[in-house]
Amino acid sequence: MGRTSLKNKLLLAFLGLLLTVMTVVGIVSYLTHNFFLAQALSTVFALGFGLLFGIMFSSSLVKRLNKLINSAREISSGDLSGEIARVSNDEIRDLEDAFSQMVQELRRMILDMKNLFGQIQSTKTQLNLIMNRILQNNFDIEVSSRTIGKGSESQSALAQKTGDQIDEGLLVMEEMAGQSARTVTRIAEAKVKSETGEASARETLIQFKVSLQQMAEYAKPIQRLASEVDKIRMVVRIIEEIAQKTDLLALNASIEATRAGEMGKGFALVAEEIRTMAENSKISSREIGKIVQGILQDNAEVVISLRKNQEGLSSGEQIIHRIIAAFGDTLTNVNFIYSEVKDIQDVTGKQVKEMRKFLDQFKELSLLAFENLQTTQKIILATRNQNMNMKRIVATMKSLNELSEKMMQTQQRFKLTAG
């Protein structure tokens, strides 16, 4: 069915009224043949018909408007159960449709509000649980972060202290490495000196052997001199014996010369000379014996001295042998000590390098501990801020809950269904 607006209805009513007036005027004019009477009757008829039409039209319009007003009042009082009646297709129908659509939308909105309130209540409960868990977790995180922060601070301080101790230990190890290097140098010098001393001792031993050989060669003539001097003693003894015999012969010759008298005087002088010569020979042999005895004593002392020198040289040779053996042992020990100290120097150098790397890694660990401390402090601060934000969210949720309760109270004022 097509739509008829109020304007068209009024226009049709006016045309119908005009047609009626014209018809009445025509009929009255035809019957009475009085034009003015016809106009007066038509005017009265038109006014009456217009008044009746106006009353009927306005009554219908007011009635429909009153229905809409009543519906609006019911809606304002919260009753959405009523339906808006639709009578005709005019502008009032548009208003009725608008009211009806508004009622439908309000119903949907109230239903949505109910659903939303239910969801809000459910969400609020879940959010309360979540918020409580989050707050508890934040509290646990803050406690753990504080514990971690204290541990990180202690770890950072301990790492710094340990790093300083390692650094001091490295200085000591570097000093030990330097001392080891100096010790290696000194041991190398001692090694060279030991080798030089051993070589010198071997040369001295060779000289000692040469000296012993020379002294043995020197001792042979002295020993031969002793035998020769001993032969001279024998000769001197023989000369003494000859002198004694000559003295006896001279004495006998002198006795015989005395017996011979004058004839034996010359023989007596010869005998006297022989006796004198024998005495002189005795005296000379005695002096030669003393000299030979002195030579023998000196030779014996020289032989004893040579023997002592030989014994001393032999002892010196043995001492030099021991010195060479000691130098050899010392050189062996020096080589061993040199090798050990060299190994210690190398190991100490490697340890210093490794400790340097370890110190660098420990400094990195200290830096990480410090960064961990800063991060933990930031986490604590962020956790506190999050707690504050959570408290704000809780306050906002409380406000939202209050608003939802007010909305529910407002929604409960509306009646959606009849009955």
Shared domain for 289 and 145, answered yes or no, is yes
pLDDT (0 to 100) of residue 1: 45
pLDDT (0 to 100) of residue 395: 73
Shared domain for 9 and 155, answered yes or no, is no
Residue 9 near residue 90 (C-beta atoms within 8 A)? yes
The two three-digit tokens of residue 272, written as one number: 């006297």
Shared domain for 43 and 152, answered yes or no, is no
Whether residue 174 lies inside any domain: the answer is yes
| Counted domains in the chain | 2
Whether residue 403 lies inside any domain: the answer is yes
Shared domain for 59 and 206, answered yes or no, is no
pLDDT (0 to 100) of residue 219: 61
Whether residue 124 lies inside any domain: the answer is no
Q: How far apart are CA 226 and CA 220, in angstroms?
A: 10
For every one of its 419 residues, what pLDDT tens digit does the chain have, with 9 covering 90 and above? 455 555 566 666 667 666 766 676 667 666 766 666 666 766 776 677 667 766 766 666 667 667 767 766 666 666 556 565 555 655 566 666 676 677 677 767 777 777 766 776 777 677 677 767 766 766 666 666 667 666 666 666 666 676 676 667 667 666 766 776 777 677 677 667 767 766 776 777 677 667 667 666 766 666 666 666 667 767 667 777 776 777 677 677 777 667 766 666 666 676 677 767 667 766 776 777 777 677 767 666 766 776 676 666 666 667 766 766 766 676 676 677 667 767 776 776 776 677 677 667 667 766 776 777 677 777 777 777 767 776 777 777 677 667 667 766 665 655 555 54
Shared domain for 252 and 378, answered yes or no, is yes
Nearest Cα neighbor of 105 from 409, 351, 414, 418 is: 414
Residue 152 near residue 372 (C-beta atoms within 8 A)? yes
Of 74, 106, 126, the position where a domain reaches its end is 74
Whether residue 231 lies inside any domain: the answer is yes
Shared domain for 143 and 64, answered yes or no, is no
Domain membership of residue 319 as a residue range: 137-408
Whether residue 116 lies inside any domain: the answer is no
Whether residue 96 lies inside any domain: the answer is no
pLDDT (0 to 100) of residue 234: 73
Shared domain for 311 and 392, answered yes or no, is yes
Residue 220 forms beta bridges with which residues? Answer: none
pLDDT (0 to 100) of residue 177: 66
Q: How many CB atoms lie within 10 A of CB 7?
A: 10
Of 42, 57, 74, the position where a domain reaches its end is 74
pLDDT (0 to 100) of residue 198: 67
Shared domain for 197 and 330, answered yes or no, is yes
pLDDT (0 to 100) of residue 92: 61
Whether residue 186 lies inside any domain: the answer is yes
Of 74, 90, 119, the position where a domain reaches its end is 74
pLDDT (0 to 100) of residue 122: 73
Q: Does the pTM of the predicted model rise above 0.85?
A: no
Shared domain for 176 and 55, answered yes or no, is no
Instruction: Kindly compute the dihedral angle of the four CA atoms of residues 13, 16, 22, 24, in this order, to the nearest 10 degrees.
Output: -100
Instruction: Kindly compute the dihedral angle of the four CA atoms of residues 196, 201, 204, 205, in this order, to the nearest 10 degrees.
Output: -140
Whether residue 79 lies inside any domain: the answer is no
Q: How far apart are CA 397 and CA 23, in angstroms?
A: 77
- CATH number (domain holding residue 311): 1.10.287.950
Shared domain for 234 and 336, answered yes or no, is yes
